[in-house]
Amino acid sequence: MPSQNLSDPVVRQSIDTIRLLAADAVEKANSGHPGTPMEAAPIAYLLYMRHLQHNPANPDWAGRDRFVLSCGHASSLIYSMLHLTGYDLSLDEIKNFRQFGSKTAGHPEFGHVPGVETTTGPLGQGVAVAVGMAMGGQYLSQHVDGELFDYRTWVICSDGDLMEGVSAEAGSLAGHLQLGHLNYIYLDNKITIEGDTGLAFTEDVGTRYLAYGWHVERVEGENLLEIDAAMERAKNDPRPSLIIARTHIGFGAPNKQDTAAAHGSPLGADELALTKQTYHRDPRETFVIPAEVTEHMNSCLARGAELEQRWLQVFEKKKTLPQIISWLSASRDELPAGWEAALPVFTAEDGAKATRQASGAAINGLAEKIPFLIGGSADLAPSNNTEIKGAGSWLPGQSERNIHYGIREHAMGSIMNGLCHTPGLIPFGGTFFVFADYMRPAIRMAALMGLAPIYVMTHDSIGLGEDGPTHQPVEHLASLRAMPNLTVIRPGDANETSEAWKVAMTNRKGPTMLVLSRQGLPTLDRDQFAAATGVQKGGYVLAPETGELQLILLASGSEIQHAIAAQETLQTDGIGTRVVSLPCWELFEAQDAAYREQVLPSACVNRVSMEAGSRFGWERYVGLQGRAIGMDEFGASAPAGELMKHFGFTAENMVAVARELLG
């Protein structure tokens, strides 16, 4: 830790500069949240200047500490810190806060600004992602090198973060796992948008986190010595730590401090002028950074260079170790030579096989070749088939490849995002497809950031049977297909499932969701039907027509078998019928127009689709003249076969609809 005397006037001058720089940015934009940056400035100062192991000249240095501003609405705080400590973020960008094309978005965005570790804004996501970051650091420490990967994850969070339910799920798991390198600093300002937190939030947060197994301390948010000492104790405690700082929103604003008026709106010209007078600054000047503050806070550059150089000296001594070589390759998104051969190949003699079972075989094949593939389930591993056989369980203080998330889908999604932020790791996580609803905020954040978790979603339709409509997803395929940058794959047999895993492993620019059946599906004879490699293109001609093309049958997942049976009947009647497997719309739409025309010739307008989910969206492929067989209501509790017949997911119904279409 630097030996800077906290009573030195330049320290307070620096903190005041952080506050006013943030307030000026919000005022100029006429939009934003000035109050939280103003209250959190002392904490941010101590963190960046004394405790955070970071190098502004190389924000992606692998050995750095991670920092998450979970209360992303306070974005002008992190932008001020990044500029003042020497990151590549100009003052002009801060002046351009919240404007189109600027790096300084309304909430911090991963990949847009050097030094922003993860996108935050939806409250609760940051604290939960940080749990995944801490888990990732622990995994690298225990399986690659403890000296190189001894980094810490720091979080500044707010009332809103700790009210959101995901924080409870994530905090509970973090305490159970004893993630001692995880530290939250909670801004206890007692203000939300609607007013005093007493309107809706009177729990004892500290006691809650003590119950989770955390180390908890309370400090005054303006007392630098108290905060500094608490941070030091947090670093030395084997438990995750929560430092509760009693802060004052809009600190220094004479009329708006400790009020909701300082939360989500600019202070206003008059109030900002009075605030600057409070801090002995000229109210007529904006974006002022005193030279002594620049010199003082830019010392982070020299300190960071020294920290990284020490790390590199250790790395140089160890870089030829097998585990280091393996990690380096994984951190560059390189997969081991011949990894595809680890994926299982199935034959028709294997009989009916649920795609969740085929997925389990794929996971275990891949795990033998890819050491940084880790994952688990929200207490459903036996049903999701997500266990890596022979690998250990992630337990308190002990990181292994099988993660037991407990019944915490929302936290699982966010934690997977944190694991994705850990270089080299490829995380997967499973639950029932219907519970994607619990994970949706985290899925959306992964898609927004371009992270690449793999979701193993089983029990994909009414075909799960007797558990009934509460567990039977109907609208989920349509709604998730609507999400940008999410690749949704619903394979139709075991070999399509292997190919889906191949897609997931090579897609490093966004999340992949595998939507898998509970019930057994016939394993297609690939000598008779097209190769399952067509999954790579999202859709392909599974079974071509005999004679002139008159009709196209489209399906995904468990309905592929019915399309094949329907084709046989229709072609017996002399109707030239093609079967198209369409497991992934996103991949199919990414193909060139010539390929899509080859699979779905525009001249053939007679088309029938079948999918055990909402019909919404299928008009894209069947057109106005075609027919879409799907679900327009919720399911029911009954054996799967009865449900499929009742709702029309049979070859006979597909034939009947096709004949009606053809007149």
Residues with a catalytic annotation lie at 409
Instruction: Please say whether the beta carbons of 648 and 611 come within 8 A.
Output: no
DSSP element (H, E) containing 488? strand 487-489
Task: Spell out where 144-181 has E strands.
Answer: 153-158
Compute φ and ψ for 90, nearest 5 degrees.
Answer: -75, 160
3 state SS for 5-57: CCCCHHHHHHHHHHHHHHHHHHHHHCCCCCHHHHHHHHHHHHHHHHHCCCCCC
CA distance 22 to 25: 5
Is residue 238 classed exposed, middle or buried when 0-12, 13-18 and 19+ CB atoms within 10 A define those classes?
Answer: exposed
3 state SS for 278-331: HCCCCCCCCCCCCHHHHHHHCHHHHHHHHHHHHHHHHHHHHCCCHHHHHHHHHH
CA distance 655 to 647: 15
DSSP element (H, E) containing 168? helix 165-177
What value does the CA radius of gyration of the chain take, rounded to a whole number of Å? 28
The structure tokens listed for 367 are 């795990």
Burial 251-279 (b: 16+ CB within 10 A, else e): bbbeebbbebbbbbbbbbeebbebbbebe
The answer to whether the Cα torsion of 398, 402, 404, 408 is positive or negative is positive
Q: Give the Cα-Cα-Cα angle 408, 410, 416 (nearest 5 degrees).
A: 95
* Amino acid at position 321, single letter: L
CA distance 382 to 365: 17
